[in-house]
Structure 1
Amino acid sequence: MIQKLININFIIILIVYALISCGINNSESPTVPHRLDMSPQIESDYSSNGLKAILSTRDLAVGNQRFAILLISKTGFVTNETVYISTSFTEKQTQNKIHQKQKPNFYQWENLPKGSYVTNFNFDQPGIWNAQIEIIDGKNNISQSTSIEFEVKKAEYTTKIGKNANLSKTKTINDVNSLKELSTGSKIFPNLYQNSLDNAVNSNKPVIVTFSSPGYCIERSCGPQTEVIDQIQKSDNLNLFFIHVELYENPEKILGNPINKKLSQVVLDWNLPSSEWTFIINQKKIAAKYEGFVTKEEILSDLQKILN
């Protein structure tokens, strides 16, 4: 009888340990059904007046969500215009459409002729939603418009804001023989590989971690994120950890030979559904997260709110 009780207690301990190891705090997140580097880009067709929208933020779920788009006309990217975005629930069985309208902030991408229009929407139900995008001219008339459909899930794939960050051991400069083992980028910033992510998070200092593969940044919502993180670290007197995690386990082997691409286990552990993500971690919890490229201006604006 005593032996049976011991065995039962031992099994219970193993189950509890397994739940903790698998990240019980994030158990509500569904599993990503595709490789993150095969995530389909969501974009509209060109409208009759020549406007196309590209949705940077695809991991959308019920609740308050960052919503970012890029706009393109037949002559190039549309930048620094007065824009309004309206969202509505489109599924037929719902009679009363939920309608929100926001004027997004525009963030010019560093040293590039394009930028993101960013705002927040509160989605109150899962399903297919529609965003109507309008550009307003100097006479307060709609000069161009387009619309784009997207899915809102019950729960996002990535860790929710306010939940514990995944304590992942990541490669540092001390773990490799060459910087090429740390990134596919043509320019590699050694200062982003000084600390493993688990040690940085456990230090209780804020952490900015970016997941990307600079050598395979091919989506139009993808940008030079490691350069921006490096600029923030060098130009601002911030007592933070800055870390880059390469998407691929073997970056030194895949440049020019992408057939050998193997996703990093850290990236799989973080359940990332697309190929460029940045997180701000504060007091071991996710404080902000960004899908697609995020500018220095937007990061610093959010960081000031988080730290204050």
Structure 2
Amino acid sequence: MNQIGASELIINDRGAVYHLNLRPEELANTIITVGDPGRVAEVSKYFDKIEGKYEHREFITHTGLVGNKRISVVSTGIGPDNIDIVLNELDALVNIDFETRTLKPNQTKLTIVRMGTSGSLQASIPVDSFVASTHGLGIDNLLNFYKLLNNEEELQILQAFNVHTQIGQNGLQPYIAAASTHILKEFVSGFHQGITVTCPGFYGPQGRILRLPLQFPDLINQLTHFQFGQHRISNFEMETSAIYGLGKLLNHNCLSLSAIVANRVEQTFSKDGGKAVESLIVKSLEILSSIK
């Protein structure tokens, strides 16, 4: 079997994968990702036991137990580019033998759940509510560097989106991937569901105008009014499609959960976004810890 080169998978002096600074035994098979490094402790404070804390740059990991369930919470930083690092290194930790630098014969399937904040694109999804993303639709370019194959429904949604927005006329190549139904079905009560659009930035890519003119000034309106069958765009943020796309390719169960802190249609903002996020953490940990 071919060895993976030292320049392709960087392992540091303590035998840990480079960016995450984690050794294989330091990672649980159930993983929560958060964008903000400061939010890691806001999740792990609910652990019954913390086994270890690991840190490198913006990537902080706490691994511990909630009841009998072993869970790691990992900060990713912001954006699809960071997700490329985190998802590939999480997979390497369980599916590559660090001693031989070869693929393990038996693949381990991780459960990866993003918990973050987001902006609603529907008047019916108010601030301080929660969204479980059925799909991640990326208007960034990350998954265009990989061979992502779509099922028929995904292709139909993507085609309808391209026709509706005409966004591809300006050189963008949107992509789409669905959530893991195995996990999504557990997050129904108390959650809105819909397509989450992932943007490669916070200002122009999300239709915000400060001093610069926009290439897509009608983006918010187009996203809000998109519909394909029962599918509508519920919200947008900066990581979900990358997690879903890479998770699908690597054969992991992935889900993205968002606390809505802004409603771009109503132009409202949460009075206490931190409280909304904490409520999402508590509710989601309870569900996650009970999944077999």
TM-score (norm 1): 0.28
Larger of the two Rg values belongs to structure? 1
Q: Which has the higher helix share?
A: 2
Q: Which has the higher contact order (CA 8 A, sep 6+)?
A: 2
TM-score (norm 2): 0.29
